[in-house]
């Protein structure tokens, strides 16, 4: 089934229909109409999958995709138009251009934590760039995945865009095919499998992965505001966010005040009984619940720590001074658990942060602008914030992606269109003049060329 489906898409791509920008825009407008009219269905599906609050579903899922679609429709003609670049004198007279062409047949593998947004956002860019696409949504969010499949069938021909559902076996079969581009969002471990599968055919890939994202709070930070913004950034989607703060490094002088402020902000957000709050999501499945629960064993939970397996509930939790070799500090947490480690001097920051691979995000809370800038420049990471968390994701003018172990490539806004486009350079030479110096025979021309090159 999958090889036949892919062959049909490759055949459709060869017809050249997707090269027509007006055709792409027509389909994107149709997709936009579908998504706007079925927004409540999407919200309901997300709730049924893991009790995602309606506010979070709109803010982090549906609104982002709708805004992205509107931007793409508005800007597509400009993005797709050949870009004229300044020519070199060696080619005089000439006009030089960059042409954006689609790669062809692309595979998009989406994750479960933002199963709607992280499936549709890259798909929008792939279609805008003129590709055909097969989208593999997460099997862990069946309600959302089924709805995405239904919407795609309504808008696109199967030879243009198709949703293929299934588990690990399906992903494996998809990765065995020869794609023109692969876009994967998920764990580092699976990202390495995707890269390995792409290697034999030299298929280009974008890997949106993750890592242990540090959050630094120095001795000058506004603690009340820091706590408020960290509570939101950490516990939105029950901490199941790749750019959520993974652990806090706080100056020793501020730790007591920070704990008090965190307790206050968690109660303001989720009440004294977060389990009853309609604004707090659940862990995606039993496997992840058990993984997270093990991180709480033998830890000093200053806040939270309560769990309920029957409800896949883990309370917003703050852990005081875990050992660096403990379970909670080994890998990315991806849940509502926040370890806090105090430090006294900046050398300790460097020792801890550099003991991990390059993170997807890094956050600094400080009123010392010079210090904050120094920390941002000192460490390598995908993207981040000063005096806030996760909001860099919201700006389509900023590329979103990792570095090193946290990812390869970037997208958002025009960057998504560019990701799914091959940029080919073209030189258009004029016929009215043909300078003969480059042609053989070369006798007597070398000295002239050397002198000329010095001035170019």
What residues act catalytically? 208
Q: What is the phi-psi region of residue 150: left when phi exceeds 0, alpha when psi lies from -120 to 50, beta otherwise?
A: alpha
Number of H helices and number of E strands within the chain?
Answer: 17, 18
Helix, strand and coil content of the chain, in percent to the nearest 5, comes to: 50, 20, 35
Q: Which residues pair with 420 in a beta bridge?
A: none
- 3-state SS class at 215: strand
Using an 8 Å Cβ cutoff, are 227 and 258 in contact?
A: yes
- Report which of 275, 265, 281 is spatially closest to residue 53, judged by C-alpha positions: 281
Q: Which helix (H) or strand (E) holds 5?
A: helix 2-14
Q: Tell me the C-alpha distance between 16 and 354, whole Å.
A: 49
Q: Which residues pair with 252 in a beta bridge?
A: none
Token pair recorded at residue 162 = 């198709």
Q: Tell me the C-alpha distance between 361 and 332, whole Å.
A: 12
Q: Tell me the C-alpha distance between 429 and 262, whole Å.
A: 65
Backbone angles phi, psi at 244, to 5 degrees: -65, 150
Using an 8 Å Cβ cutoff, are 53 and 281 in contact?
A: yes
Q: How does DSSP assign 355-421, residue by residue?
A: TSPPPSEEEEE-S-HHHHHHHHHHS--SEEEESSSSGGGG-TTS-B---GGGEE--BSTHHHHHHTE
Which is it for strands 205-208 and 181-185: parallel, antiparallel or unpaired? parallel
Using an 8 Å Cβ cutoff, are 29 and 180 in contact?
A: no
All residues at 6 or more sequence positions from 14 whose CB lies less than 8 Å from its CB, including other chains: none
- Report which of 421, 24, 424, 415 is spatially closest to residue 208, judged by C-alpha positions: 415
Q: Tell me the C-alpha distance between 240 and 282, whole Å.
A: 9
């Amino acid at each position: 089934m999958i090889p036949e489906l892919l062959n049909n898409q490759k055949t459709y791509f060869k017809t050249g229909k997707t090269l027509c920008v007006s055709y792409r825009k027509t389909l994107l407008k149709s997709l936009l109409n579908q998504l706007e009219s079925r927004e409540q269905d999407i919200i309901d599906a997300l709730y049924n999958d893991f009790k995602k609050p309606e506010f979070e579903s709109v803010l982090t899922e549906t609104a982002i995709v709708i805004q992205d679609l509107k931007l793409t429709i508005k800007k597509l003609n400009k993005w797709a138009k050949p870009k004229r670049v300044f020519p070199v004198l060696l080619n005089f007279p000439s006009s030089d251009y960059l042409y954006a062409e689609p790669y062809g047949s692309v595979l998009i593998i989406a994750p479960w934590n933002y199963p709607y947004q992280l499936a549709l956002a890259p798909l929008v860019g792939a279609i805008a760039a003129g590709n055909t696409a097969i989208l593999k949504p997460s099997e862990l969010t069946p309600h959302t995945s089924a709805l995405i499949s239904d919407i795609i069938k309504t808008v696109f021909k199967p030879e243009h865009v198709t949703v293929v559902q299934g588990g690990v076996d399906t992903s494996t079969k998809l990765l065995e095919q020869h794609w023109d581009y692969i876009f994967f969002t998920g764990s580092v471990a699976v990202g390495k499998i995707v890269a390995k599968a792409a290697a034999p055919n030299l298929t280009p890939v974008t890997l949106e992965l993750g890592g242990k994202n540090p959050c630094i709070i120095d001795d000058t930070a506004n603690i009340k505001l820091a706590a408020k913004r960290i509570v939101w950034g950490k516990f939105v989607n029950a901490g199941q966010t790749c750019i959520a703060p993974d652990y806090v490094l706080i100056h020793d002088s501020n730790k007591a005040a920070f704990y008090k402020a965190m307790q206050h902000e968690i109660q303001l957000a989720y009440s004294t009984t977060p389990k009853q709050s309609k604004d707090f999501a659940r862990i995606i499945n039993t496997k992840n619940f058990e993984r997270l629960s093990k991180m709480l064993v033998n830890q000093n939970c200053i806040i939270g720590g309560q769990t309920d397996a029957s409800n896949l509930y883990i309370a917003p939790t703050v852990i005081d001074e875990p050992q660096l070799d403990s379970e909670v500090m080994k890998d990315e947490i991806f849940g509502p658990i926040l370890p806090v480690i105090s430090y006294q001097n900046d050398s300790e920051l460097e020792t801890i942060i550099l003991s991990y691979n390059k993170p997807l995000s890094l956050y600094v809370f400080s009123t010392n602008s010079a210090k904050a800038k120094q920390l941002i420049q000192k460490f390598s990471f995908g993207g981040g914030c000063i005096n806030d968390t996760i909001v860099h994701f919201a700006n389509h003018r900023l590329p979103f992606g990792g570095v090193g172990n946290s990812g390869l490539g970037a997208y958002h806004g025009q960057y998504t269109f560019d990701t799914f486009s091959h940029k080919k350079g073209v030189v258009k030479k004029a016929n009215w003049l043909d300078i003969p110096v480059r042609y053989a025979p070369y006798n007597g021309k070398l000295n002239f060329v050397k002198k000329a090159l010095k001035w170019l």
